Amino acid sequence: MSRVYNFSAGPAVLPEQVLKEAAVEMLDYQGSGMSIMEMSHRSDIIEGMMAEAERDLRDLLNIPANYKVLFLQGGASQQFAAVPMNLMKNRVADYLNTGQWSKKALQEGRLYGKINVIASSEDQNYSYIPGLKNLKVSEEADYVYLCHNNTIFGTRFTELPDVGEKPLVADMSSDFLAGPIDVGRFGLIFAGAQKNVGPAGVVIVIIREDLIADNVLPGTPTMLKYKTHAAHNSAYNTPPVYGIYICGKVFKWLKKIGGLEVMQEINELKASLLYDYLDDSRLFKGTVVKRDRSLMNVPFVTGDADLDAKFIKEGEARGLVNLKGYRTIGGMRASIYNAMPLAGVKALVAFMKEFEGKEA
């Protein structure tokens, strides 16, 4: 067996330690004689596992007591609808349009109310984060929405907008747990697990309790009401047990390496190795404004599509896989999530240098 360095944007690399533990426990979870996938979600074992996962997540992020943690299904994309259905009282919301995922979210929001795009970087193909100084939050807005890390374009928010009393809603699918955040600044955070936290099939929602309401938009399905899941500890119906179990192991892994401050330092080190090289390279160029560069997703190009293809192919042959850029953008993208080891980034940079020596 040999493992590759997997730079996929998602589903993405998981910590090897987590996969090994899951393999050991596959046939017999904690002496039960069963896999964790074969048990009732009402059993003590599963309830205990889910409660522990929540506790560890609360520890990692210092989640205040007046926030609920939900483990749901439907992916981040379903939250694009759940957020307006639950939070729109005036049927107005403000969105920051900084990439394909925020655009999809705001388009979905338009099914339910009036969406004001109060900032956008679409004019420059989303290669930067718009200035937040003169942001005009609409008086009637029920919430302000942003995508914290733009997976496809490789930008991230390094500051948050001042939204006054309005709830700030953030899609953190691709940088959830990449470093500490102040949960208290947000009304609602959601993250699909398959980028930085676990397998596909789980979406984590952290929501301030006062936003969990009964008076949601008419026609909101029971399953899309935050109230439903908050009232039943994410087990109103069968939760995605196996996915939550893996997420729980990733939380333990993060605690073991020293928590999110340490994780952030490692992420900064990995990203700077790659960006410093890109800044000096005669062949490869980053595609994003320096100030706004993501620590998780690093897009780059040579400027020559044939050369890009050659690079991707040769990389693959050496076990550096999934470096192809997003289908509508081209070039390359290296996703270097929490679980990508430093050695993987070093191997990538060494290969890029060698390729540059040959081709530039």
Rule CB under 6 A: is residue 101 a binding residue for ligand PLP?
A: yes
Query: Could you tell me which residues are beta bridge partners of residue 71?
Result: 204
C-beta closer to ligand PLP: residue 49 or 82: 82
Nearest-approach distance from CB 271 to ligand PLP, in angstroms? 17
Number of residues that bind ligand PLP (CB under 6 A): 12
Query: Could you tell me which residues are beta bridge partners of residue 202?
Result: none
C-beta closer to ligand PLP: residue 82 or 211: 82
- Which one of the spans 54-62, 75-83, 162-170, 284-292 is the region binding ligand PLP (CB under 6 A)? 75-83
**CB of 135 within 8 A of CB of 118?**
yes
C-beta closer to ligand PLP: residue 76 or 349: 76
Give the one residue of 171, 177, 311, 329 binding ligand PLP; rule: CB under 6 A: 171
Q: Of all residues in this chain, which one has the CB nearest to ligand PLP in the complex?
A: 75
Nearest-approach distance from CB 19 to ligand PLP, in angstroms? 20
Rule CB under 6 A: is residue 77 a binding residue for ligand PLP?
A: yes
Distance CA 12, CA 5 (A): 10
Distance CA 168, CA 187 (A): 5
34 exposed, middle or buried (CB, 10 Å; 0-12, 13-18, 19+)?
middle
Residues marked as catalytic? 101, 171, 195
Rule CB under 6 A: is residue 325 a binding residue for ligand PLP?
A: no
Distance CA 285, CA 303 (A): 8
Rule CB under 6 A: is residue 109 a binding residue for ligand PLP?
A: no
Rule CB under 6 A: is residue 201 a binding residue for ligand PLP?
A: no
123 exposed, middle or buried (CB, 10 Å; 0-12, 13-18, 19+)?
exposed
- Which one of the spans 42-50, 73-81, 133-141, 227-235 is the region binding ligand PLP (CB under 6 A)? 73-81
User: The tokens 């540059």 sit on which residue?
Assistant: 356
C-beta closer to ligand PLP: residue 82 or 323: 82
| Integer CA distances (angstroms), 120 to 22, 105, 131, 135, in order | 42, 13, 9, 11
Nearest-approach distance from CB 20 to ligand PLP, in angstroms? 25
C-beta closer to ligand PLP: residue 29 or 190: 190
Give the one residue of 43, 47, 75, 236 binding ligand PLP; rule: CB under 6 A: 75
Q: Which amino acid is at 242?
A: Y
Q: Which amino acid is at 120?
A: S
Q: Catalogue the E-assigned strands of 59-167.
A: 67-72, 92-97, 114-120, 144-147, 149-150, 155-156
Residues whose CB is less than 8 angstroms from the CB of residue 177 and which lie 6 or more positions away in sequence, other chains included: 60, 61, 196, 197, 250, 254, 260, 263, 338
C-beta closer to ligand PLP: residue 101 or 311: 101
Rule CB under 6 A: is residue 10 a binding residue for ligand PLP?
A: yes
Give the one residue of 151, 234, 287, 294 binding ligand PLP; rule: CB under 6 A: 151
Distance CA 309, CA 88 (A): 45
C-beta closer to ligand PLP: residue 15 or 192: 192
Nearest-approach distance from CB 139 to ligand PLP, in angstroms? 28
Give the one residue of 121, 155, 174, 281 binding ligand PLP; rule: CB under 6 A: 174
Element at 59 (helix H, strand E): helix 44-61
Residues in contact with ligand PLP by CB under 6 A are 10, 75-77, 101, 147, 151, 171, 173-174, 192, 195
